[in-house]
């Protein structure tokens, strides 16, 4: 990167899986409201806070970002530094690079409120608070903090002064909160719509949607899993062999539900739950060549959700399962008889 003479610079990173109008709107809104001269948009190679899911390659996500921000090249530059670096994409590593070219007061890291509330779990977040200012944008369904006690615990000790939309930090930097009109959809929801052939034009720019369709980036998993009932039985058998407890499976094809089939089971500890889920993911990848399209809770091991489109798998730490009573949601579905499986 060449030395640049700019007074206010934004840095906006993310997986962009896919790049949607919420991403574009955030960059435009922050640039306008804060008079940023340049925003560097930086697709991650692998977000360390997210588990890998089935979808486009890093270079395809980069291309989506380049296409989506094409109309805004007068103040936006899409940069492939994290994709070239490979491995887990840590914000601190990228900031260290930009710190060689810009002073800390010039740098503004743009993140959504959803990411902000987990900010104190980021690698070297204390150093990030020294190297740049934070700009936190509102997200649909999420409140921005009202007081210091609403901030992530790791940030609270850095607060020198708190105003409604502005925080002075003891590091000499600041945090600014900006309310924007945003697209009420998550990337997870958009991926699911794309795989199910649903309309997405209000979430994606025409050019990005066209690129996705031309390259078949979010094909339904049934292109690789032809029989989801047989797949459900295969998964149930695999979980049974991993010493799960309370294994149940349901056929939901006759009721309105997010999937056609679902499996629920428990582990005896959070470690057991994470281990079962990890092994299952690897087995399915090896046999069918797919990763889940959605994955939640793998690190915590309390409630792991594996979304394979027409099959959703819930693996609980058993005492957490009792709290939710999830099986009651499917009482109108047909329970699949697993007796023969358990007798093996």
What pLDDT score was predicted for residue 221?
83
Residues 31 and 161 in one domain: yes
Q: Could you report the per-residue pLDDT of 240-251, keeping only the tens digit for each?
A: 999 999 999 999
Residues 91 and 237 in one domain: no
Q: What is the CA radius of gyration of the chain?
A: 22
Residues 14 and 86 in one domain: yes
Residues 164 and 227 in one domain: no
Residue 31 maps to a domain: yes
Residues 173 and 228 in one domain: no
- Tell whether the model's pLDDT for residue 2 goes beyond 80: no
Mean pLDDT computed over 106-125: 95
Q: Could you report the per-residue pLDDT of 12-53, keeping only the tens digit for each?
A: 999 999 999 999 999 999 999 999 999 999 999 998 878 778
CATH assignment at residue 61: 3.40.50.620
What pLDDT score was predicted for residue 312?
96
- Among the residue ranges 60-64, 97-101, 131-135, the one predicted with the least confidence is 97-101
Residues 119 and 28 in one domain: yes
Residues 49 and 164 in one domain: yes
Mean pLDDT score of the chain: 92
Looking at the DSSP bridge assignments, the partners of residue 267 are: 317
Q: Is the dihedral of CA 209, 215, 217, 220 positive or negative?
A: positive
Residue 63 maps to a domain: yes
Q: Could you report the per-residue pLDDT of 126-142, keeping only the tens digit for each?
A: 999 999 999 999 988 78
Residue 232 maps to a domain: yes
Residues 32 and 110 in one domain: yes
Q: Look up the domain containing 320 and give its range.
A: 223-343
Residue 202 maps to a domain: no
Task: Assign 3-class secondary structure to the chain.
Answer: CCCCCCCCEEEEEECCCCCCHHHHHHHHHHHHHHCCCEEEEEECCCCCCCCCCCCCCHHHHHHHHHHHCHHHCCCEEECCHHHHHCCCCCHHHHHHHHHCCCCHHHEEEEEEHHHHCCHHHCCCHHHHHHHCEEEEECCCCCCCCCCHHHCCHHHHCCEEEEECCEEEECCCCEEEEECCCCCCCCHHHHHHHHHCCCCCCCCCCHHHHHHHHHCCCCCCHHHCCCCHHHHHHHHHHHHHHCCCEEEEEEECCCCCCCCCEEEEEEECCHHHHHHHHHHHHHHHHHHHCCCCCEEECCCCCCEEEEECCCEEEEEEEHHHHHHHCHHHHHCCCEECCCHHHHHC
Q: Show which of 144, 160, 178 is a domain's final residue.
A: 178
Residues 30 and 148 in one domain: yes
Residue 90 maps to a domain: yes
pTM, whole model, 2 decimals?
0.83
Q: Could you report the per-residue pLDDT of 116-125, keeping only the tens digit for each?
A: 999 999 999 9
Residue 214 maps to a domain: no
Residues 13 and 84 in one domain: yes
Residue 72 maps to a domain: yes
Q: Show which of 120, 148, 178 is a domain's final residue.
A: 178
Residues 237 and 148 in one domain: no
CATH assignment at residue 261: 3.30.460.10
Residue 312 maps to a domain: yes
Residues 171 and 291 in one domain: no
- pLDDT over 90, % of the chain: 78
What pLDDT score was predicted for residue 15?
94
Count of domains forming the chain = 2
Whole-Å CA distances, 161 to 12, 34, 106, 151, 174: 25, 20, 20, 13, 9
Mean pLDDT computed over 144-151: 92
């Amino acid at each position: 990167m060449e030395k640049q003479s700019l007074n206010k610079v934004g840095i906006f990173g993310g997986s962009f899986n896919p790049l949607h109008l919420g991403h574009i709107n955030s960059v435009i809104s922050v640039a306008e409201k804060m008079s940023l001269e340049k925003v560097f948009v930086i697709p991650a190679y692998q977000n360390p806070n997210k588990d890998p899911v089935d979808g486009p390659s890093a270079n395809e996500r980069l291309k989506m970002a380049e296409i989506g921000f094409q109309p805004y090249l007068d103040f936006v530059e899409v940069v492939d530094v994290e994709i070239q670096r490979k491995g887990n994409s840590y914000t601190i590593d990228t900031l260290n690079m930009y710190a060689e070219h810009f002073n800390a007061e010039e740098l503004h890291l743009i993140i959504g409120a959803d990411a902000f509330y987990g900010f104190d779990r980021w690698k070297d977040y204390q150093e990030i608070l020294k190297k740049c200012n934070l700009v936190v944008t509102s997200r649909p369904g999420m409140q921005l903090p009202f007081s210091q006690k609403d901030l992530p615990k790791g940030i609270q000790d850095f607060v020198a002064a708190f105003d409604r939309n502005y925080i002075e930090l003891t590091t000499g930097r600041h945090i600014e909160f900006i309310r924007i009109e945003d697209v009420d959809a998550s990337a997870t929801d958009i991926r699911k719509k794309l795989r199910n052939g649903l309309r997405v034009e209000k979430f994606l720019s025409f050019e990005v949607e066209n690129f996705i369709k031309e390259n078949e980036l979010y094909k339904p998993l049934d292109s690789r899993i032809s029989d989801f009932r047989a797949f459900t039985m295969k998964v149930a058998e695999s979980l049974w062999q991993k010493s799960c407890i309370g294994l149940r499976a349901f056929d939901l094809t006759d009721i309105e539900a997010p999937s056609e089939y679902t499996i629920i089971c428990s582990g005896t500890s959070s470690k057991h739950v994470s281990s079962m889920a990890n092994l299952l993911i690897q087995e399915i990848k090896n046999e069918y060549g797919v990763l889940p399209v959605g994955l939640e809770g793998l690190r915590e091991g309390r409630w792991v959700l594996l979304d394979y489109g027409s099959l959703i798998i819930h693996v609980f730490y058993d005492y957490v399962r009792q709290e939710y009573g999830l099986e009651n949601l499917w009482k109108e579905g047909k329970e699949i008889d697993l007796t023969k499986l358990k007798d093996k």
